[in-house]
Amino acid sequence: MKINNGYIICRGNLIACIYMDKNFIKYIKQNPIEYSCGKYKIRRYAWLFEKIEPIPPTSAKGKLNIWNFNEKYKLIEKSIDNLKTN
């Protein structure tokens, strides 16, 4: 599966950070789509989100860890443009 990097494509609420162990990885492997979209290894962390909603793709330079996207006007502007075309 090809993944295009460098874009924000959704937003949501981070509700948990789970330390991965062999039992967690075994559980995730039961969902092949979820497993194929991540790097599931012992001693890494999985972030659990809720209220995820797609947004118009917006280019952004990623960073390690959690970071704030300070160019909110881009998201608002793209959302307005998207509403006008629908």
Nearest 5°: the CA angle 48, 54, 58 is 105
Q: How confident is the model at residue 30 (pLDDT cuts 50, 70, 90)?
A: very high
Bridge partners, 48 (sequence order): 16
Q: How confident is the model at residue 83 (pLDDT cuts 50, 70, 90)?
A: low
Which has the closest alpha carbon to 11: 75, 46, 68, 54? 54
Q: What tens digit of pLDDT does each residue of 54-63 get?
A: 888 888 877 7
Q: Is 80 helix (H, G, I), strand (E, B) or coil?
A: helix
**CA gap 75, 32 in Å, rounded:** 31
Asked whether the predicted pLDDT for residue 46 surpasses 80, the reply is yes
